[in-house]
Amino acid sequence: MAILSDASFLKAEGGGAGGLRLRLAGCRMPAEWEPHLASYIIWPHNPETWPGRFAEIAPAFAQLAAAISAFEPVRVVVQPGADLQAIRQMIAEAAPAGIPAKPERVEFAEIPSDDSWVRDTGPVFVNCANAPGQLALAWRFNAWGGKYPDFADDAALAARLAARWGVEAVRLDLVLEGGAIEVDGEGSLLATESCLLNPNRNPGLDRAALESYLHSALGARKVLWLAGGIRGDDTDGHVDEVARFIGPGRVAAAYTDDPRDPNYGVLAENLARLCAMTDARGRQLAVVRLPMPHPAEGEGQPPPASYANFYFVNGGVLMPAFGCPQDAQARALLEGALPGRRVVEIAATDLALGLGGIHCLTQQHPAPAA
């Protein structure tokens, strides 16, 4: 596995780092709506992530896996020694109404992990003009800015998962989670200042250095900076809770017009920036405003529930649903914005109690470039 330090990665030439930089120069991260080989999820096993609700989480994961299997293969990462037959049966019986699960598309891999947030700990796959054609980028993981104990298995997961499916891994010495970046596959990348520029990730790297990194590793020619994320998100504001590309020059963004909503200020700032932006190809962004779901009832700060945390699959979109009136509005907006794709609602209220959602719990493996 190749390893790059921050300094060597930013050098224009020289040594092994220069050779790897040349290989990465022909690489790009495809947009999520481009064809997938498969999707990854990590079967839940850490009760501390959903305290007091862990019994409800496996059925929610089974519904998510079953829905994915209706559209494409799903690769389920489990703890060594897990009861694969029981998990497969649960998935087979959990398909959402009107969605036929396809258990034959479910594949298991016994790889240890600390938690289930594969979006952040799994590899980011890039398609490359040079051999071998596809690489798996393994970023450095520091438990979301050091908020949790040392997650050694999560830190090693990207490389282990890539090896399991025969993709060469490249370890980059940059702290980055997959939920912190959103690309259109054409050189544009969305990110939040509150996360990527937070000193708890990469102290000493400024905005320009981070942009250079993202350009070299992902083919991102223009970074579109948003202000921040929603309340309750312990990632310092991952972009996949607030704004997502839905096509070239098109973005779906979380928004509320209620000034009493604690997210009103940051979402208004994000929207204003998006409406003033052009993408890497010079297109003015067209923005679809997604409502915020009704806040979950209960004590303390509500969990980070957002319709922007949807997930593209081949021919469809999996949309988080929270059992509130805004579900129907969000679904209608996505169906109107994404003709030809089937929008499937996935119950996400319990999942959000773990401080994430269905996009955070999935990772796509794009099909190699033709």
Which of helix, strand or coil describes residue 222?
Answer: strand
Question: Would you call the peptide bond into 44 cis, given omega within 30 degrees of 0 as the criterion?
Answer: no
Which of helix, strand or coil describes residue 40?
Answer: strand
The one-letter amino acid code at 369 reads A
Listed in sequence order, the DSSP H helices in the chain are 6-10, 15-25, 54-69, 84-92, 118-121, 143-146, 152-164, 193-196, 207-218, 264-276, 326-337, 349-352
| Catalytic-residue membership of 360 | yes
Q: Are strands 250-255 and 243-247 parallel, antiparallel or unpaired?
A: antiparallel
Q: List, edge to edge, every strand of the sheet that includes 2-4.
A: 2-4, 168-175, 134-140, 124-128, 27-28
Catalytic position from the list 27, 128, 195, 360 = 360
What is each CA distance from 281 to 187, 204, 296, in whole angstroms? 8, 30, 39
Active site residues: 360
